[in-house]
Structure 1
Amino acid sequence: MLFRWIAPWRKPQSLGLRGEAAAARFLRKLGYVIIARSDRSKLGEIDIVAVDGRTVVFVEVKTRTSSDTAHPSDAVDAVKQAKLTRLALSYLRRHNLLECKARFDVVAITWPATATQPTIEHFPNAFEPTGEFQLFS
C-alpha cells in the first residue's frame, strides 16, 4: 500500500541501471557469483565483477532501446577494451587477486521502451586484455 502511494514520486531507474540489474540476474541464473556492481575507482567504473568457477569475470553491460543503428556490443571498441583492461588490473591489485585467472565478458541488452523484458545476449571471453597491461593468464 505504501509503495503505491510513493511510486508516483519515485524517480524512474535509468536504462543503464535497469540493464545492469537484468544482466546481474541473468548471470546469477548461469551460476555466476556477483561480487561487485558499479565498482568505481579513479580510473572509471566496472559494471559487474563476478566469479565463474575459479575465474574472476569483468562484465561490461551495454543496454540500448533498439539495435537499429548498431548492436549494443559494438560500443565495446578497442579504446573501451583498453580502459577495461586498466580497470580490471587495478581491481585485481586492490583486492590481492593478481594470481587469479580473469576474463572479460560483454552482456548486450536490447530493451525497447514498450517491452517489459529485455533481450539479453551474453558474450563470454569477449576480448583479450589489450594495451600494456596484459597480465591475465
Structure 2
Amino acid sequence: MANRVPQTLTWIASRGQRLRQWYNDHRFGAIDDHAQLGKRGEQVAAQLLRRKGLQVIAESESDRAGEIDLIALRKHPRLMVFVEVKTLSTSRPGHPADRVDENKQARITRAALRYLKRKKLLGIPCRFDVVAVWWPRDEPRPTRVEHYESAFDAVGIDSFFG
C-alpha cells in the first residue's frame, strides 16, 4: 500500500497538469504545433494579449494596403491595438523587433486606417504594438516573448494625423 502512494500522487499531478493545459488552451487559445513558425509566433502573441485582458478580434487581417498580424480591443477604456508579431528562429544576433522598420510601420499604419474606415471605427483611440518572439527550431515552445506597447506612432503620408 505504501508503494502506491507515490504512484497515485504522480498520477494526480499529471492529470492536474493536463487539466491546467486544457484550461489555458481553452481560455487563451491553443498553439498549433504543426503550423509554420510565423503562425505559431502569432498564436503565442495572441495568448499573451488575452492574458493581459485584451480581446483579439482579428488575425492576419489584410487588404491591398498591407497585413496586420493581430488586432485587439481593450474594452475599458476603449482602445484598438494593432500588433505586429516578429518571430526569430535562429540564435543570430539581432532583435526581432528591429525588423519593423519605417517602411513596415507605414504599411501597418495604412492597413490600420483602412481597417478602421471599413469597420466605421475612426473615432476609437489606437496604438501600435510589437511582439517579439524567440523560438529556436529545436524547442517545442518559445524561449522568450516580449511585448512592446505603443512601439511606434502612425507613420507615413496617410497617417492618422497627417
TM-score by length of 1: 0.87
Rounded Cα–Cα distance in structure 1 between residues aligned with 2:160 and 2:137: 40
2:156 to 99, 110, 131: 131
2:72 paired residue number: 50
Q: More deviation in 108-117 or 15-24?
A: 108-117
1:88 lines up with 2:88 in the alignment: no
Rounded Cα–Cα distance in structure 2 between residues aligned with 1:96 and 1:29: 27
1:121 to 122, 142, 146: 146
Rounded Cα–Cα distance in structure 2 between residues aligned with 1:76 and 1:122: 14
Bigger CA radius of gyration: 2
Rounded Cα–Cα distance in structure 2 between residues aligned with 1:13 and 1:32: 24
In structure 2, what residue type is equivalent to 1:47? D
In structure 1, what residue type is equivalent to 2:53? G
Rounded Cα–Cα distance in structure 2 between residues aligned with 1:56 and 1:67: 33
1:41 paired residue number: 63
Rounded Cα–Cα distance in structure 2 between residues aligned with 1:90 and 1:103: 15
Shift of 1:67: 4.9
Rounded Cα–Cα distance in structure 1 between residues aligned with 2:141 and 2:49: 15
2:44 to 15, 18, 22: 22
1:6 paired residue number: none
Distance 1:110 1:42, change over 3 A: same
**Tell me, what secondary structure is at the counterpart of 1:112?**
coil
Structure 1: gaps (5+ residues):
1-10
Q: More deviation in 48-57 or 120-129?
A: 48-57
Higher share in strand: 1
Q: More deviation in 56-65 or 109-118?
A: 109-118
Q: More deviation in 43-52 or 91-100?
A: 43-52
Question: Share of identical aligned residues, percent?
Answer: 47
1:4 paired residue number: none
Rounded Cα–Cα distance in structure 2 between residues aligned with 1:20 and 1:35: 13
Kept in 1: contact 2:89–2:134 (CA 8 A): yes
